Amino acid sequence: MNQLEKMTHNIRNPTSRKKLLLILSGSLICIGWAAEVIWDSALLFNTFMIVSTLVAGLEIVRRAWQGLRNRHTNIELLVTIAATGGIVIGVYWEAAAVTFLFLLGGWLEARTMSNTRNTLRELINMAPDTATVLEDGNRREIPAREVEKGMLVLVKPGAKIPVDGVVKSGTTSVDESAITGEPIPAEKQSGAEVFAGTINKNGSIQVRAAKAGGDTTLAKIIQRVEEAQEEKAPTQRFIERFARWYTPGIVGLSIISYLWTWDLELALTLLVIGCPGALVISTPISVISGIGNAAKKGILIKGGDYLENAGKVSAVALDKTGTLTQGKPKVTEYIYLQREKVKADIGKSNPKKDEVSVVSATDLENGNIPDELVDLLYWAGIAESASEHPLAEAILSETPKSLHLPEPNYFTSHTGLGIEALHEGKQILVGSAKFLTHQGIFIGDSFTGQLDKLASNGHTTVLVARNNRLVGGIAISDPIRPEAREMIKRLRKNGINRIVMLTGDAGPAAHSIARDVEINEVYGGMLPDQKNDIIQNIQKEGENVAMIGDGINDAPALATADIGIAMGAAGTDVAIETADIALMSDKLMNIPQALKISKLTLRNIHQNVVIALVTVAALLAGVFMGSVHMAAGMLIHELSVMAVILNGMRLRWV
């Protein structure tokens, strides 16, 4: 590229053109001042100021003209009139300063705004442009959006995954922070779901494509975030109504004050401050920053409206299963009858002296499993391997891998009570204490005592008997998420005093979990529409309620609440659609975080509106008292716009 081409390119590119004009007009002003100070030459000073005004004014006039052609009176037109008027009445320095500051302000604001919009640009860039597809053993590189459902995509270590799909072969760990905001990589193997825009860390994998291009979860998130940022918050709508009258009002005021005082400079100064810049930008800048920052953490806030509502939340209602708990039943405790080892030469257990012991599953993770327990898991496993009950899965996943479970010869299920199986002539019974008692199995007092204790702590215990004799029991519960307690504490610390638990679970588990996480208002045995009623009652008591659930069976309550927050929304479109705030991961701490970001954003908007209004009031007062002239007016105006933008940008680091 030769010099001339480079120059024309620079002039055609808006950013470099603005920079060029800025440097030029700025230097002219400096030379003008130097001429004034060194040679005391008013002529040189005025000439340089006029030239500088023309240089900077060129861009402004061009845009004013463009606006006029589109039948818009814009701020550039006001500045053009003011600067022209300034030259006519001979205040050259003021005219030069006004045009220069206007350009400088615009340039700085564009740069900082661009910075604010960065978060989303990063997300968009997470999606790779091309994908390597495997067809009959051949590799072919195609644009990522053209990958079709069912195609096999190869993803090398270190590469970004180009589509949503399921791992067909290979194992690796994947950095899913673009989707979930979770920085710790997730382990993926055959059968695991992967998302476009996540990073394959260390293994080569083949992915069976499910969605590509604009249908991927990443694209949906980006689309959601953008819609959210574009949706106007109530404050913003109010401000925009105000701003629509502000500019014509100032122009009118300028004309009236000229007719009243015949002071042209006063009238022109009013025109300079006529742009409602800081005011119109006050709300959107906070909303963009707040929503953008939340999105980066895996918190999808669906719009300015919700941001304002979430900032006002005073009560929180939580679902239990899948929200406070992990939503997957797990074996937590074992009860077994310890065989007292009588002398080695006899080597036989003595059932008469059985002693009841309880051991928790976590204690066994690293230690040796006692023989009695292996026995318990073995017999329970044989019977459960034929069952499809949800608890069966929990029990079978605990069976040691070395233990081979044979198929039972006979199996029958007593619905709602338990199961019965036959293996090598031995009868196995697995079920509730009531079921076993009914089948004539003797359960001792100390064993029953342990059962009651476990039940009151929210466990469901499955008992196992072999050949009419009790072997032991397996206690199962849906474990609380480790950070649940801390999360509730944080909510209270953030000023939310009323925390309610709503659950479909009618048993003692609900109360035991509520006790553990320190929630004292519990509604158990709730159907979805009953949850809805509770939310409405709390609202009637004057609270702003946030409901937190898993998005599917809590849908009505999520919709009724002032703010519906859905958990673990990555990959489930329903949750993203129905909730006002969708948390992409299962990280509970994102709940207080989401409410905190909302609150801070709301506060930020209010601060910005105050900054803008105070500036306008101060400028108007200053102009009429005669202490603010054109240059100062423009400077203060541009400073207030910058102050508002910078204040909004603080939200990026919350």
Min separation Cβ 139 and other proteins, Å? 23
Strand 521-523: give its sheet, edge to edge: 299-301, 581-583, 563-566, 545-549, 315-319, 498-502, 521-523
Min separation Cβ 640 and other proteins, Å? 13
**Rounded Cα distance, 62 and 57, in Å:** 8
Strand 193-194: give its sheet, edge to edge: 138-143, 130-135, 152-155, 205-211, 164-169, 193-194
Our CB check for other proteins shows the closer of 560 and 608 to be 608
H-helix or E-strand spanning residue 421: strand 418-423
* Pairing assessment for the beta strands 460-466 and 426-431 based on DSSP bridges: antiparallel
| Residues sharing a CB contact under 8 Å with residue 137, sequence separation 6 or more, in sequence order | none
650 DSSP 8-state letter = G
Min separation Cβ 568 and other proteins, Å? 25
| Torsion angle in degrees (nearest 10) through CA of 549, 553, 559, 561 | -40
In residues, how long is the chain?
654
| Residue of 229, 250, 217, 267 whose CA lies nearest to 82 | 267
Min separation Cβ 98 and other proteins, Å? 16
36 DSSP 8-state letter = I
Our CB check for other proteins shows the closer of 112 and 132 to be 112
**Rounded Cα distance, 435 and 414, in Å:** 9
- Helix, strand, coil percentages in the chain from 3-state DSSP, rounded to 5: 55, 20, 25
Summarize as ranges the residues that interact with other proteins (CB under 8 A): 12-15, 18, 59, 63, 66-67, 70-72, 74-75, 106, 109-114, 117-118, 120-121, 124, 127, 129, 145, 213-214, 219, 222-223, 226, 229-230, 240, 275, 277, 280-281, 284, 287-288, 645
| Cβ(450)–Cβ(334) below 8 Å | no
Angle between helix axes 14-34 and 42-69 (nearest 10 degrees) is 160
Given the residues 164, 175, 305, 319, the one annotated as active site: 319
Q: Where are the extended beta strands (E) located within 432-523?
A: 460-466, 469-477, 498-502, 521-523
First-to-final CA distance of the chain = 45
* C-alpha to C-alpha distances, 114 to 121, 240, 277, 553, nearest whole angstrom: 10, 22, 17, 41
**Rounded Cα distance, 449 and 447, in Å:** 5
Our CB check for other proteins shows the closer of 125 and 202 to be 125
**Residue whose structure tokens are 């980006």:** 222
**Rounded Cα distance, 416 and 431, in Å:** 9
Our CB check for other proteins shows the closer of 5 and 365 to be 5
**Rounded Cα distance, 481 and 321, in Å:** 10
Our CB check for other proteins shows the closer of 311 and 431 to be 311
Min separation Cβ 323 and other proteins, Å? 31
**Rounded Cα distance, 627 and 642, in Å:** 22
Min separation Cβ 633 and other proteins, Å? 17
Min separation Cβ 147 and other proteins, Å? 14
* C-alpha to C-alpha distances, 353 to 303, 404, 418, 443, 508, nearest whole angstrom: 67, 30, 28, 14, 32
* C-alpha to C-alpha distances, 478 to 323, 342, 390, nearest whole angstrom: 11, 38, 12
Min separation Cβ 102 and other proteins, Å? 11
Would residue 345 show up in a list of annotated catalytic residues for this protein? no
Our CB check for other proteins shows the closer of 63 and 492 to be 63
Our CB check for other proteins shows the closer of 288 and 513 to be 288
The residue type found at 182 is: E
Min separation Cβ 64 and other proteins, Å? 10
Min separation Cβ 234 and other proteins, Å? 15
Our CB check for other proteins shows the closer of 116 and 325 to be 116
What SS3 string covers 14-31?
HHHHHHHHHHHHHHHHHH
- Chain centroid offset of residue 613 CA: 32
The residue type found at 45 is: F
**Rounded Cα distance, 427 and 408, in Å:** 10
Our CB check for other proteins shows the closer of 129 and 187 to be 129
Our CB check for other proteins shows the closer of 46 and 289 to be 289
Min separation Cβ 272 and other proteins, Å? 15
| Cβ(461)–Cβ(335) below 8 Å | yes
Our CB check for other proteins shows the closer of 113 and 618 to be 113
| Torsion angle in degrees (nearest 10) through CA of 371, 377, 379, 381 | -150
Our CB check for other proteins shows the closer of 116 and 450 to be 116
Min separation Cβ 117 and other proteins, Å? 5
Rg (CA), the chain: 35
Which are the catalytic amino acids?
319
